[in-house]
Amino acid sequence: MKKIILRLDLNVPIEKNGNIRDTERIDAVIPEIKKLSEKNKIIILSHLGKGEKKDSLKPVENYLRKKLNKKENENIQILDNVRFWKGETLKKSSKEFKETAKYFASLGDEYINDAFATMHREHASIVGIPEIFKKENKKVSLGDLSKIEIKNLEKSLKLAKDKKNKTLLILSGAKISTKLPLITKFLDLNAKVFVGGGMANQILKDVLNLETGSSFLEKDFKISPVIKKTLLTSIKNKQLLLPIDVILKNKKVETVDKLKEKDYIADIGPTTLAILKKEVENSKNIILNGPLGLYEDGFDAGTIAILKILKNKNVNILIGGGDTLVLVKNLKIVSKNKTFISTAGGAMLEYLAKDGKLPGLLALN
């Protein structure tokens, strides 16, 4: 019987009492596990959280085994959190990385990666195993769910590259440093780009020299002069869109040119929302990643308003980002027709920025 190493993304939120808050990621891979375990032994690898002591996959294993029959359970082995192995996340050149990859690879004779949300990581279970297997002429391949992800990301990317399609990229989140290549790429493609959250704060401060008060800014990072020039030109051309008014943490609305030293930006303001709604209505290809406000503090009105429009819009729509998916689920927005909900956040953005050249995919090729 063949032994297949199946790398999955079972990184689900687990409460202190061991209850799994959201089982969607586990439920999604059950059909693949059932199919593969019919005639093979399956060794399942996944990470959970940062690999701290509390991050055991045991609650996930308990839940998963209840969904499988006796034969399927006999044919699967679930390794505990791969991040418990120090070498999993260290540099490829390190001794620990090589030893960890070698150990994982020794567990089977075929490798399938169906953890698309981790494909941008150069970790031992993502790139180390397939590199060893290829040298040994063992089979490596992509899982079913990852193929669906790539198909839909490619569709959005292809539409974005055709300038007739009126593409709108709505990008929000805390840190801008890793997102600048994607922003500049889509500006080059003549797409409209709306930036919100902490990323917008950084542009308001570094590019437009505006006061952002005590709002979130990325620590020890400043936008370079070359990128500043590109962004400033795009702002003047109304291709790069930023909040022009905001809701502060004290729930007051203020324009971005009148912020004071102690103000803290929490969400986009009503005028900005109206402008963004109009852009959404006029676009034929829409990509959204990240909530526009501090949704965990209750500032989710802007994001919800946009998601409600997207729910009823019949154009190509791609939505991703872990935090966004909480709101998507609450609004009962699902993948159907021209809408696709990606399970990935960082991997989705890197895929779009790098034309699919992610470490995990390159390792399989």
Do 50 and 108 belong together in one domain? yes
The structural domain count of the chain equals 2
CB atoms within 10 A of CB 200: 26
Is residue 364 one of the residues assigned to a domain?
no
The pLDDT, as a whole number, for residue 163 is 83
For 56-91, what is each residue's pLDDT tens digit?
999 999 999 999 999 999 999 999 999 999 999 999
Do 264 and 115 belong together in one domain? no
Residue numbers of the domain that contains 341 = 147-353
Do 110 and 234 belong together in one domain? no
Do 48 and 163 belong together in one domain? no
Q: Along the chain (365 residues), what's the average pLDDT of each consecutive run of 10 residues? A: 96 90 91 96 97 95 97 97 98 98 98 97 98 97 97 97 93 92 96 97 97 95 95 97 98 97 97 98 96 93 96 95 87 94 92 97 95
Do 38 and 107 belong together in one domain? yes
Do 305 and 157 belong together in one domain? yes
Do 306 and 177 belong together in one domain? yes
**What is the DSSP secondary structure assignment for residue 249, as one 8-state letter?**
T
The pLDDT, as a whole number, for residue 296 is 87
Q: Which of 125, 142, 159 is the C-terminal boundary of a domain? A: 142
The pLDDT, as a whole number, for residue 27 is 94
CB atoms within 10 A of CB 258: 10
Is residue 365 one of the residues assigned to a domain?
no
CATH code of 43's domain: 3.40.50.1260
Do 214 and 275 belong together in one domain? yes
Do 86 and 198 belong together in one domain? no
Is residue 178 one of the residues assigned to a domain?
yes
Q: Which of 123, 142, 161 is the C-terminal boundary of a domain? A: 142
DSSP sequence for 6-20: EEE-----B-TTS-B
Do 208 and 78 belong together in one domain? no
Do 217 and 166 belong together in one domain? yes
Is residue 358 one of the residues assigned to a domain?
no
Is residue 362 one of the residues assigned to a domain?
no
Q: Which of 111, 142, 173 is the C-terminal boundary of a domain? A: 142
CB atoms within 10 A of CB 317: 25
The pLDDT, as a whole number, for residue 326 is 86
The pLDDT, as a whole number, for residue 16 is 86
Do 204 and 335 belong together in one domain? yes
The pLDDT, as a whole number, for residue 322 is 75
How many whole angstroms separate alpha carbon 139 and alpha carbon 156?
Answer: 30
CA angle 147, 148, 152 (to 5 degrees): 115
Contact 334, 311 (CB under 8 A): no
